[in-house]
Amino acid sequence: MTDDRLFTSPFNRHSRPIPGPVSLFDTTLRDGEQAPGVALGTDDKIAIAKALDDLGVARIEAGFAAGAAQEAVSLKEIAGLGLNAKIYSLARCTEKDIDAVADTGLSNAHLFLASSDSHLRHKLSLGRDEAVAKAVSAVEYAKSLGLNVQFSCEDATRTDPDFLERFYAAVVEAGADEIDIPDTVGAALPAAMEYLAGRMSKLGVPVAVHCHNDLGLAVANSLAAMSAGASQAHVSVIGLGERTGNAALEEMALTLYLNHGHRVVDLSKLAGVARLVSRYSGRAIHVNKPVVGRDAFAHESGIHVHGMLNDPTTYEAYAPELVGMDRSIKLGKHSGTHSLSSRLAAMGMTFPEEMMPELLAEVKTIALGGKEINDLELAAVAGGLMWKGRPANTVELKRFRVTTGRGIVPEAYVTVSIGGEERSHVASGNGPVDASVNALRGALGEPISLEEFRVEAITGGTDALGEVTVILKDKAGGGEATPGKAVGLDIVDTTMVAILEAINRIYERRKAV
Least distance from Mn ion to the Cβ atom of residue 157, Å: 12
Tell me how far apart the alpha carbons of residues 187 and 1 are, in angstroms, rounded to a whole number.
40
Instruction: Indicate the residue among 31 and 377 with the shorter CB distance to Mn ion.
Output: 31
187 vs 426, beta carbon nearer Mn ion: 187
Q: Which of 18, 24, 31, 114 binds Mn ion (CB under 5 A)?
A: 31
Using the contact rule CB under 5 A, the part of the chain among 29-37, 162-170, 325-333, 375-383 near Mn ion is 29-37
Q: How far apart are CA 373 and CA 317, in angstroms?
A: 26
Closer CB to Mn ion, 18 or 218, in the complex: 218
Note whether 99 and 82 are within 8 A (CB).
no
| 227: nearest Cα among 203, 263, 191 | 191
Q: How far is the CB of 381 from Mn ion (least distance, A)?
A: 50
Give the interface segment with Mn ion, choosing from 23-31, 112-120, 136-144, 428-436 (CB under 5 A): 23-31
Residue with nearest beta carbon to Mn ion: 31
Nearer CB in complex with Mn ion: 45/210: 210
Residue 48 or 439: the one with the smaller Cβ distance to Mn ion is 48
Calculate the alpha carbon distances from 270 to 38, 52, 89, 467 in Å: 21, 10, 24, 37
Residues 6+ apart with CB under 8 A from 159: 115, 116, 117, 153, 167
Minimum CB separation of residue 31 from Mn ion in Å reads 4
What are the backbone angles phi and psi of residue 32, rounded to the nearest 5°?
-60, -40
CA distance 492 to 443: 17
**Cα–Cα distance, 119 to 128 (Å, whole number):** 11
The DSSP letter of residue 212 is B
The minimum distance between CB 210 and Mn ion, in angstroms, equals 6
**Least distance between Mn ion and beta carbon 184 (Å):** 6
Binding segment for Mn ion (CB under 5 A), chosen from 27-35, 62-70, 188-196, 197-205, is 27-35
Q: Segment 409-428, which members bind Mn ion (CB under 5 A)? A: none
Contact 124, 131 (CB under 8 A): yes
Q: Confirm if 53 and 60 have CB atoms less than 8 A apart.
A: yes
**Site for Mn ion (CB under 5 A): how many residues?**
1
The nearer residue to Mn ion, 31 or 375, going by C-beta atoms, is 31
Task: Assess contact for 139 and 147: CB atoms under 8 A.
Answer: no
Dist. CA 393–CA 418, nearest whole Å? 9
CB of 35 to Mn ion, least distance (A): 10
What DSSP state is assigned to residue 80?
A: T
Nearest to Mn ion of 109, 412 (CB atom): 109
CB of 212 or CB of 289, closer to Mn ion: 212
Minimal distance in Å, beta carbon 232 to Mn ion? 14
We find the least distance from the C-beta atom of residue 245 to Mn ion, in angstroms, to be: 9
What CA–CA distances, in Å, run from 473 to 24, 286, 345, 502, 504?
49, 36, 14, 9, 12
Using the minimum distance from each CB to Mn ion, give the nearer residue, 210 or 505: 210
Which one of 30-38, 126-134, 427-435, 480-488 is the stretch in contact with Mn ion (CB under 5 A)? 30-38
Q: How far is the CB of 464 from Mn ion (least distance, A)?
A: 46
Inter-CA distances, 192 with 239, 273, 483, Å: 21, 31, 59
H or E segment and range at residue 398: strand 395-403
Nearer to Mn ion, 31 or 501 (CB): 31
Half-sphere exposure of 91 (CA within 13 A, CB side): 33
Stretch near Mn ion under the rule CB under 5 A, chosen from 25-33, 333-341, 366-374, 492-500: 25-33
Q: Which is nearer to Mn ion, 32 or 410 (CB)?
A: 32
Q: CB 246 → Mn ion: shortest distance, Å?
A: 6
Helix (H) or strand (E) holding 474: strand 466-474
Tell me which stretch binds Mn ion (CB under 5 A): 28-36, 270-278, 297-305, 488-496.
28-36
Min. distance of Cβ 482 from Mn ion in angstroms? 56
Of 31-39, 65-73, 118-126, 406-414: span binding Mn ion (CB under 5 A): 31-39
The least distance separating Mn ion from the CB of residue 240, rounded to whole angstroms, comes to: 11
> In degrees rounded to 5, what are phi and psi of residue 235?
-140, 170
Distance CA 296, CA 332 (A): 17
> By C-beta, is 236 or 438 nearer to Mn ion?
236
Stretch that binds Mn ion, among 24-32, 391-399, 476-484, 487-495 (CB under 5 A): 24-32
Minimum Å gap between C-beta 128 and Mn ion is: 22
Tell me how far apart the alpha carbons of residues 192 and 15 are, in angstroms, rounded to a whole number. 16
Residues 442-481 that bind Mn ion (CB under 5 A): none
Q: If DSSP codes are grouped into helix, strand and coil, which group holds residue 18?
A: coil
Site string for Mn ion, 285-314 (x = CB under 5 A): ------------------------------
375: contact with Mn ion by CB under 5 A: no
Contact 340, 309 (CB under 8 A): no
Reference 78, options 44, 27, 31, 38; nearest CA is: 44
Give the nearer residue to Mn ion in terms of CB position, either 152 or 438.
152
Burial class of residue 428, CB neighbours in 10 A (0-12, 13-18, 19+):
middle
- Binding residues for Mn ion, rule: CB under 5 A, are 31
